[in-house]
């Protein structure tokens, strides 16, 4: 086996029961606060992850059975560390499966040309949600606020809004049909919801709009919260 292949094996994430145990063991060792450990445990850690061992010894060390001393050391405070490890694995998998551009906030479209451009030229994997509104029409302002919230939770979705007059289609989208939500992907119209607030309660929130769109399968999986944010919530 070539040196390059051996190096790839050592750096790769393992799969299967034994591989998961080895990955967990490595993660645990790297994340422990060694400075505050008793001297006996520091010595055990030194033996478990000695940098002076050869590559063959290192691979054998990863694949061997865990000793009683190692088990006692690694099981301490495992709950928090295991939670962090699982979250890291989920983030890595999510990043591998996620592709396409990401966006910030709701985009204001000022013309019919801008409306057509965002539909026709956006990335083929991007879901585009367009809110057609008019100032003073019931539900429009509230729906705009809801989309502001959803835009932070679904950064891979491009949320847009355009005034019915600015769109050049005021006759088609008359007041009785507002607010309207249009959903596109790869230039194809997936959802056309005229007077969409009729599907919601009198007082609705971002979660209600989210549930409504999800009932038609129009939103992707939500972004995972960042590991740092989750740790801060645990502390609080």
More confident of the two residues 91 and 14 = 91
Sheet with 107-109, strands from edge to edge, namely: 107-109, 157-163, 127-133, 180-185, 188-193
Summarize pLDDT for 191-224 with one digit per residue, the tens: 999 999 999 998 999 999 999 999 999 999 876 5
Q: What are 135-167's pLDDT values in tens digits?
A: 999 999 999 999 999 999 999 999 999 999 878
Give 183's strand partners: 129, 191
Could you identify the residue written with the tokens 């026709």? 120
Instruction: Specify whether 25 is located in the same domain as 75.
Output: yes
Whether residue 97 is predicted with pLDDT greater than 90 in this model: the reply is no
Number of domains, the chain = 2
In a domain, 145, yes or no: yes
Question: Which CATH number is 88's domain given?
Answer: 1.10.168.10
pLDDT tens digit sequence for 179-188: 999 999 999 9
Could you give the CA distance from residue 4 to residue 153 in angstroms, rounded to a whole number? 41
The CATH number given to whatever domain includes residue 172 is: 3.40.30.10
């Amino acid at each position: 086996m070539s040196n390059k292949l051996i190096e790839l094996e050592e750096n790769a994430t393992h799969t299967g029961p034994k591989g998961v145990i080895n990955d967990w063991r490595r993660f645990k060792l790297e994340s422990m606060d060694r400075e505050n450990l008793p001297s006996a445990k520091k010595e055990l850690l030194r033996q478990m992850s000695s940098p002076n061992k050869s590559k063959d010894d290192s691979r054998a060390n990863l694949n061997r059975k865990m000793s009683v001393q190692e088990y006692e050391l690694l099981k301490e405070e495992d709950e928090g560390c295991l939670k962090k490890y699982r979250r890291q694995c989920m983030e890595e998998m999510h990043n591998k499966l996620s592709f396409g551009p990401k966006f910030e906030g709701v985009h204001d479209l000022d013309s019919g040309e801008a409306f057509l451009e965002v539909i026709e030229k956006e990335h083929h994997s991007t879901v585009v949600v367009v809110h057609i509104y008019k100032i003073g029409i019931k539900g429009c302002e509230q729906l705009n606020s809801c989309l502001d919230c959803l835009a932070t939770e679904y950064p891979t979705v491009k949320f847009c809004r355009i005034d019915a007059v600015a769109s050049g289609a005021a006759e088609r989208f008359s007041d009785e049909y507002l607010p309207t939500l249009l959903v596109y992907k790869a230039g194809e119209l997936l959802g056309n919801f005229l007077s969409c607030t009729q599907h919601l309660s009198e007082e609705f929130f971002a979660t209600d709009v989210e549930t409504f769109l999800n009932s038609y399968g129009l939103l992707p999986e939500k972004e995972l919260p960042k590991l740092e944010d989750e740790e801060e919530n645990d502390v609080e």
